[in-house]
Amino acid sequence: MRHVLVLMVVVCALAFGRAAAAQESWVQVEALPSLAEAEARAGDWGETFPNVAGFRLSSGWYAIVLGPFAPDEAVRQLDLLRRERMIPPDSYIAEAGAFRERFWPAGSAGLPAPAAADGTAAAADPAPPVPPAEDPAAEPAEEPDETPREARASEAALSEEERKELQAALQWEGTYQGAIDGAFGPGTRRAMADWQAAQGFEPTGVLTSRQRVALLDTYRGEQAALGLEKFTEAEAGIEIVLPLALVEFARYEPPFAQFDARDGSGFRVLLISQQGDAATLAGLYDIMQSLEIVPLAGERELKAASFVLTGSNGTVESYTQAELSGGLIKGFTLAWPPAEAERAARVLEAMKASFRPVGDRALDDSLGQPLAEEKEGLLAGLEVRRPTLSRSGFFVDPAGAVVTTSEAVRGCGRITLDLATEADLAAVDAGLGVALLKPRAALAPKVTGELETAAPRRGSDIAVAGYPYEDRLDAPVVTFGTLREMQGLNGEPMLARISARTLAGDAGGPVLDASGAVLGMLLPRPADSDRVLPPDEQAVLDAGALAEFLTANGLTPPASARTGSMPAEDVAAAGRAMTVLVSCWE
């Protein structure tokens, strides 16, 4: 019953507005990106309100409005309908100058009826058609709503917040790049003139009242459609404008506060917040590039106290920024479908312009599963990019060249060393089962493998360094064993056999003798051999065959001059220092 009374007030106000409005005002309740959506929603609104109209905005969106009303009555109606919760809380007053073609009611056309020169409202019913003039070019142009002097006078009455909002709207339209400070200097004047020219107005550099209304209506309508709102994430200590019509908070996964897509929008946001130093920042830089929402193709920039990542593929595009200050790393990621690039560009600019670390806190690890516990711990929504296969390898020269098994590089679209450094396949010998890799950026390994030149003694102690569990471990593991024979099962002279408990990921790793010299490279266990080695026995490509392979491919084999035996812990340390994780990616 209460809503019925409110509707009677609306109808009476509508009748009064048609009879007495000096200038038509409307209550805008919604804006939609497509005509079909707008027509459907206008029909829905029409079931409740008798005065629903629809107009295209200059931005290309479609506004649904109630009215027209006299200006004072529009304010009263807006307040009344908001209080009764009959319209959205972000509804606002819109002036006729903001509208273009009319699309609702169905079959209607043209702009809202303008106010008459004597101050009385123009008739609501359409005027009879006027025969075309003999010389249309001679018809006088529409009078401006304000002269330049009047426009400056009305502009002078604006508050600081109103001036800032105009600058923000110009920035949204892409004509203003300066500070949002409310000061209308040369930059703001140029932006106003550029916007006027783009809209077909005379580029005076001073917006009239009607132009300001049109600019702000477009800005507010598009902001409302994206749900752009200032958001303070207290746990992360971050303040930022977020597109809350496109994303919604999902969970904490330190160092991330995750916002997933709302209603299938395809947009996602990560707020980044953790304590740390430059090393932590560099580690985060590497980890971010392992996430599926950060595609590999894109610009990368790592500085001493910040980084920026962009990525793009056929499925997702994203932007990430992070900065280290005062022992805290704060930043964000925005990801979106490639088809939403235009909307994403507007959202991204708003996020970049508004991002601000607040307070002296970072996300507490107790809020979720910390990244430090397990790299794949982003399981609850962030997919970690994984290699198709990882094996071991070891450095063989001071520039970072690596020897590994040919199995590790077969059919790879991309090869990395320790998941971070891109490498190229320099040579491969499928018969021997060995490959040579060269990093794209020169490395400086602390230890390089030195090849044994003397014949090792059967039954002597050996050590195998490698990544038995592939990329699941952050450091290599050393397994001790015994040298069984300096030949293969079929008497192959370039092979040796060892007894050691190794796994598939160890293949390609160095096999060291007690002096710390490399006596060979561990080969993968044959999958289809008629003669299967015992579980604890493995084949090794010996140092002589490795030396010939390296020489044939332009590298001088690093020969060992070591004698005697080292403590087992020193052998293990040398093996770990020279061993590298070799990963094959699609």
- Per-residue pLDDT tens digits for 324-341: 999 999 999 999 999 999
User: Residues 445-469: what's their mean pLDDT?
Assistant: 91
Over residues 107-115, the mean pLDDT reads 51
Report the alpha-carbon distance of residue 428 to residue 405 in Å, rounded: 9
Helix (H, G, I), strand (E, B) or coil at 460: coil
Measuring CA to CA, which residue among 57, 71, 211 is closest to residue 147? 211
Strand partners, 483: 498
* Per-residue confidence (pLDDT) for residue 65, from 0 to 100: 92
pLDDT greater than 90 at residue 362: yes
Confidence of residue 224 (pLDDT cuts 50, 70, 90): confident
pLDDT(225) > 60: yes
DSSP 54-99: EEEETTS-EEEEEEEE-HHHHHHHHHHHHHTTSS-TT-EEEEGGGE
What separation in angstroms does the CA of 375 have from each of 230, 386, 415, 527?
Answer: 31, 11, 20, 30
The tokens describing 398, both together, are 């001071």
Residue 380: predicted pLDDT:
42
CA distances in angstroms from 178 to 155, 164, 170, 173, 299, listed in the order given = 19, 11, 10, 13, 25
Which comes out higher in pLDDT, residue 16 or 483?
Answer: 483
In the predicted structure, residue 471 carries a pLDDT above the cut 70:
yes
Cα 147 from Cα 382, distance rounded (Å): 56
Two tokens at 262? 């709302």
Give pLDDT, residue 84.
Answer: 80
What's the confidence (pLDDT) of residue 109?
A: 56
d(CA 122, CA 114): 6
Answer whether residue 431 shows pLDDT above 60: yes
User: Tell me, what's the pLDDT at 12?
Assistant: 54
pLDDT number for residue 23: 62
For the cut 60, the answer to whether the pLDDT of residue 375 exceeds it is no
- The type of residue at 5 is L
Among the residue ranges 219-223, 311-315, 545-549, the one predicted with the least confidence is 219-223
Identify any residues that bridge with 464 across adjacent strands, giving them in sequence order: 479, 511
Q: What's the rounded Cα separation, in Å, for the pair 558 and 403?
A: 12
Q: How confident is the model at residue 533 (pLDDT cuts 50, 70, 90)?
A: low
Is the pLDDT reported for residue 20 higher than 50?
A: no
**Tokens read off for 379:** 């399981």
How many Å apart are CA 258 and CA 237, to the nearest integer? 14
Residues 6+ apart with CB under 8 A from 244: 227, 228, 229, 231, 262
Res. 483: pLDDT tops 60: yes
Cβ atoms of residues 439 and 421 within 8 Å? yes
* This prediction's pTM: 0.51
CB-based contacts of 372, cutoff 8 Å, min separation 6: 365
Note whether 226 and 347 are within 8 A (CB). yes
Q: Give whichever of 84-88, 155-159, 526-530 has the largest mean pLDDT.
A: 155-159
Beta bridge partners of 231: 240
| CA-atom Rg of the chain in angstroms | 35
Position 378 pLDDT exceeds 50: no
Distances (CA, A) of 213 to 56, 58, 180, 340: 15, 12, 19, 28
Q: What is the mean pLDDT of residues 96-119?
A: 64
Reduced 3-state DSSP string for 463-506: EEEECCCHHHCCCCEEEEEEEEECCCCCCCCCEEEEECCCCHHH
State residue 139's pLDDT score. 47
Residue 171 contacts residue 177 (beta carbons within 8 Å): yes
411 vs 59, residue with greater confidence: 411
In the chain, what percentage of residues exceed pLDDT 70? Answer: 86
The pLDDT score that the predictor gives to residue 532 is 63
Predicted confidence (pLDDT) at residue 443 exceeds the cutoff of 80: yes
Tokens of 65: 């409005």
- Residue pLDDT, tens place only, 275-311: 999 999 998 998 898 888 998 889 989 999 999 999 9
**Residue 457 banded pLDDT, cuts 50, 70, 90:** confident
The pLDDT of residue 113 is above 50: no
The domains of the chain, with CATH numbers, are 2-116 (no CATH), 152-226 (no CATH), 228-377 (3.40.1000.10), 386-586 (2.40.10.120)
Least confident of 73-77, 236-240, 278-282: 73-77
Cα(379)–Cα(385) distance, rounded to whole angstroms?
11
pLDDT of residue 88: 86
Stretch 529-555: mean pLDDT: 85
Per-residue pLDDT, 273: 96
Helix 209-226 / helix 160-172 crossing angle, nearest 10 deg: 70
Q: What is the pLDDT of residue 473?
A: 79
Residue 126 has pLDDT above 50, yes or no: no
> Do 193 and 37 form a contact (C-beta atoms < 8 A)?
no
* 375: phi then psi, degrees, rounded to nearest 5: -60, -35
Mean pLDDT of the chain: 85
Calpha distance 577→461 (Å, rounded): 19
